[in-house]
Structure 1
């Protein structure tokens, strides 16, 4: 049975996204809206500390992405079902259903890729864009070269045609998903055992949709980024990126890569690990607050 954890003090709603896919959404606070999107292998719950810090000045909207947590998990047989374009439409429609025609948007990991696509596809809706510990899809594939690409071995596994990746992962699902929680939290202090089990249980229940999400990144999402790169598309809103220094290991300049997409960019490195919103929520809440202050929209 899949375990459940919720953000204390937040209301929970089921809200329709694109194509009628229902998203599980936590909502709290008052004021201008900010939407927080989670990464892999997690759910909306990863934002619990940051969300509570922001809700004094914001309406904080925290969904489970389609395919994750308690949101619907449609079949991924159509590559577009888990494209970041479709997932971005989910977020725009959820915010609209909650009464917000525009909002700030902050994403971690997979959620950051959805956020970037929302910023490119819906520039008049996204007031500001925050990115935690990821590169744009096009740049991710470009920098993964040689033996150093082994750090992203799971990207290559889940990019394979449907069938074998799902079977391989399902055969050892708790170990597979748990390995990322452990490897990306080297201190081993970010999660309680209950929280770790919660993330693992929810991921085990979502193998097919998680693989479909990643498979899209190697196909339709990459195609969208290539098209936008060729037409010199830019993120028009203020953008903030906070990241570990992956460039030192893989030999790239993350700030320069992001600057090519985001002219109005503030880039910052952090000493926190990948799960920075849980490891150091004060730093991330301040990052979001500072980013919101750069937006010309205040209501």
Structure 2
């Protein structure tokens, strides 16, 4: 049986022409949307979602191209731009009856959440980004030998063909590599959840690559245009991050503060998958954000 978030209801919701998202919804109260990262699905939120559902309507979709959501063919750079994926989330919330909502994302989901906050400031009331830098800043700080930790970013940035072929030849080894090296506590991702992640990724190689390819191209263009125009996140923002900024030689607080005047940056003692390794700390940080 495929794992699911306990006591959540599942449905498919149309968000764009030919694109439906798989979404789990639970709880009652003010809406909170939680977006997953790579190489995961909405299941990464299973502990945090059930905690926050005590006093919020918690909405956990699979992003386009991931999990059980639709995976449109990459027709052009916009298909998997974060602007397009953010518009999906706004459309999803509206289809569920919410014109305004709080939004939290991890990893890839955090990049979508970041773009949603810039593009839809009247819609996103609070924003949390977990263990990521904005796309433009990420490419600026990745340099030298330390950039080896992000080899997958460069691989999937290549033109269509080669990265899909290489990853598709050994998808479990590729995606499993990140589940292994980014996790401090291997018990945080149990066998059935790990299998669900690998099954989902194995079926989504072209769309996952397209998502990453967009982050080396059109997403940078969108971030650069916002920076030139002085664009900032107008809502309260929380950033939870491992202390990898010091190791890689950049000041994460300064980078985030340039985008978010109302920022609280919190270091978290965990691996990359903090919602699974430190769910109580993650839930508390989100509750603190929502109280601002």
Q: Shorter-normalised TM-score: what interval?
A: over 0.9
Q: 1:164 maps to which residue?
A: 162
259-268 or 12-21, which moves further after superposition?
A: 12-21
Displacement of 1:288 in angstroms is 0.7
Q: Does structure 1 retain, via aligned residues, the 8 Å contact 2:13–2:21? A: yes
SS of structure 2 residue aligned to 1:210? helix
1:27-176 to 2 correspondence within 5 Å? Answer: 27-176=25-174
SS of structure 2 residue aligned to 1:209? helix
Q: Does structure 2 retain, via aligned residues, the 8 Å contact 1:18–1:86? A: no
TM-score of the superposed pair, with normalisation by structure 2 = 0.99
SS of structure 1 residue aligned to 2:78? helix
Of residues 222, 227, 231 in structure 2, which corresponds to 1:229?
227
Q: Is there any run of 5+ residues in structure 1 with no aligned partner, and where?
A: 295-299
1:229-248 to 2 correspondence within 5 Å? Answer: 229-248=227-246
Count of residues in Structure 1 that have an aligned counterpart in Structure 2? 292
Displacement of 1:20 in angstroms is 3.8
1:146-191 per-position Cα deviation (integer Å, ceiling 9, x unaligned): 0000000000000000000000000011100000000001332211
Distance 1:178 1:148 in 2: 21
Displacement of 1:76 in angstroms is 1.1
Displacement of 1:251 in angstroms is 0.3
TM-score of the superposed pair, with normalisation by structure 1 = 0.96
Q: Is there any run of 5+ residues in structure 2 with no aligned partner, and where?
A: none
Runs of 4+ in 1 over 3 A off after TM superposition: none
SS of structure 2 residue aligned to 1:61? strand
Distance 1:268 1:61 in 2: 24
Q: 1:253 maps to which residue?
A: 251
How much is the aligned-residue C-alpha RMSD, in angstroms?
A: 0.8
Of residues 259, 262, 268 in structure 1, which corresponds to 2:260?
262
Displacement of 1:255 in angstroms is 0.7
SS of structure 1 residue aligned to 2:40? coil
225-234 or 11-20, which moves further after superposition?
A: 11-20
Distance 2:272 2:184 in 1: 10
Displacement of 1:136 in angstroms is 0.2
1:245-284 per-position Cα deviation (integer Å, ceiling 9, x unaligned): 1111110010110000000000010111100001111101
1:5-40 per-position Cα deviation (integer Å, ceiling 9, x unaligned): 211100011111133410000000111000000000
